[in-house]
C-alpha cells in the first residue's frame, strides 16, 4: 500500500524496502546521512565518492539498502564501517561498469570521418581512454585504427580507477554470448572486415587477438586525485563524467584541457556536453551529432 511514511524509495527494483519499518521521508536528513556515509567510507577505506553526482549515488545507495533489507542509510553506514564484506558489495554498486564493444556505433563512424584524417598526418598517435572499465571500447578503437592503417604508430593509454576491471581488461577475454551484439555494433560502426577475425572462441569466452593488445597500456588511474601523465592527441571519456558532480566535472575537464595540445580531440558520451562546464569556449564541436570536440585555444 502506498503511504506517506516510507523512508526508502519504493521503486520496482526496491520492493524489499517496502516491507521494512517506516520512517518519515526527510530529504534534508537523507542528505546528511549520505554525507556521513561517504565521509566514513573515505576516512576508513580511502574510496572517495564525496563528489559524485548526488541523484545517481542516492539511487544506488537505496538499492543496496533494499537488497540488504535495511531501512536507513545510517544502518547501512554501521554495517559498511564494521563489515568489509558489506563495503565490497556497496563498492560494486557504486562502481557499476557498463560498457560494450563499439558502443554507440555512430560515434565510431564520426571518429573515422572527422578524426582519422587528422591522425594520418601525425608521426605518432597517443590516445587516452579515461574510465575504460573492462576495456571493450579500447579494443574497439584498436580495431578501428588497425583497419585505418594507423595502429602501428598508436599507443592507447586505457585507464580506470578500479584495479579489478583493469586486470580483466588486460586479459582481453569477453563473454562469447555478447559477440552477436558486438558484431552488429561493429558493422554499424563502419567495420570493413568480418568481426570474427578478431577473436578466437574458447569455452564461453572470446579471446581477442594479442596483436590488438600490443599497443594498449592498461593502468590504474584516478581522475579525482591523479595528474595527467602524457600529452595526448585524443582523449576519450564517455559516460564517466555523468557520475561526477559539477565541481568534480570541472576539475577533470581542466585535467583533460591541460593534457591536450591545440587541435587535440576530446570525445564524450552522446548526452554529455561542454555546455555546462566552463570549457565550452576552448573547444569546437567537430561533429554535428556526436560529442567530438577539438581544442582551439
Which residues would be at the binding site for another protein (CB under 8 A)?
Answer: 1-4, 6, 9-13, 25, 27, 53-56, 59-60, 96, 98, 104, 239, 241-243, 246, 249, 269-273, 275-276
Q: Considering beta carbons, is residue 160 or 272 the nearer one to another protein?
A: 272
Specify burial of residue 223 (Cβ count, 10 A radius: 0-12, 13-18, 19+): buried
Least Cβ distance, residue 119 to another protein (angstroms): 27
Whether 244 and 53 have beta carbons less than 8 Å apart is answered as yes
Q: Considering beta carbons, is residue 32 or 242 the nearer one to another protein?
A: 242
Question: Rounded to the nearest 10 degrees, what angle do helices 84-94 and 27-45 cross at?
Answer: 110
Least Cβ distance, residue 267 to another protein (angstroms): 15
| Angstrom distance (rounded) from CA 181 to CA 191 | 14
Nearest alpha carbon to residue 160 among 96, 214, 205: 96
Grid cell locating 276: 555546462
Least Cβ distance, residue 214 to another protein (angstroms): 29
Cell numbers 584516478 correspond to 222
Three-class secondary structure assignment of 105-118: HHHHHHHHHHHHHH
Cell numbers 555546455 correspond to 275
Q: Considering beta carbons, is residue 146 or 290 the nearer one to another protein?
A: 290
Least Cβ distance, residue 220 to another protein (angstroms): 22
Least Cβ distance, residue 22 to another protein (angstroms): 11
Q: Considering beta carbons, is residue 243 or 283 the nearer one to another protein?
A: 243
Q: Considering beta carbons, is residue 1 or 262 the nearer one to another protein?
A: 1
| Angstrom distance (rounded) from CA 14 to CA 12 | 5
Amino acid at each position: 500500500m502506498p503511504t506517506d511514511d516510507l523512508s526508502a524509495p519504493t521503486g520496482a527494483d526496491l520492493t524489499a524496502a517496502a516491507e521494512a519499518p517506516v520512517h518519515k521521508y526527510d530529504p534534508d536528513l537523507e542528505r546528511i546521512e549520505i554525507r556521513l556515509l561517504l565521509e566514513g567510507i573515505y576516512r576508513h577505506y580511502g574510496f572517495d565518492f564525496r563528489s559524485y553526482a548526488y541523484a545517481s549515488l542516492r539511487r544506488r545507495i537505496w538499492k543496496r539498502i533494499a537488497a540488504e533489507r535495511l531501512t536507513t542509510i545510517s544502518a547501512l553506514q554501521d554495517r559498511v564501517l564494521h563489515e568489509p564484506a558489506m563495503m565490497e558489495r556497496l563498492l560494486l554498486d557504486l562502481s557499476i561498469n557498463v560498457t560494450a564493444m563499439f558502443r554507440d556505433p555512430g560515434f565510431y563512424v564520426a571518429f573515422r570521418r572527422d578524426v582519422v584524417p587528422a591522425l594520418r598526418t601525425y608521426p605518432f598517435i597517443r590516445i587516452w581512454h579515461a574510465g575504460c572499465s573492462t576495456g571493450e571500447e579500447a579494443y574497439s578503437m584498436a580495431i578501428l585504427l588497425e583497419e585505418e592503417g594507423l595502429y602501428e604508430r598508436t599507443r592507447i593509454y586505457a585507464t580506470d580507477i578500479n584495479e579489478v576491471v583493469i586486470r580483466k581488461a588486460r586479459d582481453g577475454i569477453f563473454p562469447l554470448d555478447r559477440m552477436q551484439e558486438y558484431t552488429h555494433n561493429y558493422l554499424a560502426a563502419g567495420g570493413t572486415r568480418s568481426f570474427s577475425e578478431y577473436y578466437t572462441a574458447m569455452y564461453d569466452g572470446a579471446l581477442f587477438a594479442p596483436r590488438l593488445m600490443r599497443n594498449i597500456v592498461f593502468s590504474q588511474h584516478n581522475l579525482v586525485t591523479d595528474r595527467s601523465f602524457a600529452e595526448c592527441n585524443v582523449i576519450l571519456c564517455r559516460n564517466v563524467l555523468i557520475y561526477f558532480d559539477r565541481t568534480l566535472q570541472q576539475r577533470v575537464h581542466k585535467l583533460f584541457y591541460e593534457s591536450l595540445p591545440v587541435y587535440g580531440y576530446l570525445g564524450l558520451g552522446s548526452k554529455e556536453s561542454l555546455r555546462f562546464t566552463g570549457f565550452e569556449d576552448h573547444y569546437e564541436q567537430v561533429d554535428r551529432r556526436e560529442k567530438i570536440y577539438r581544442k582551439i585555444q
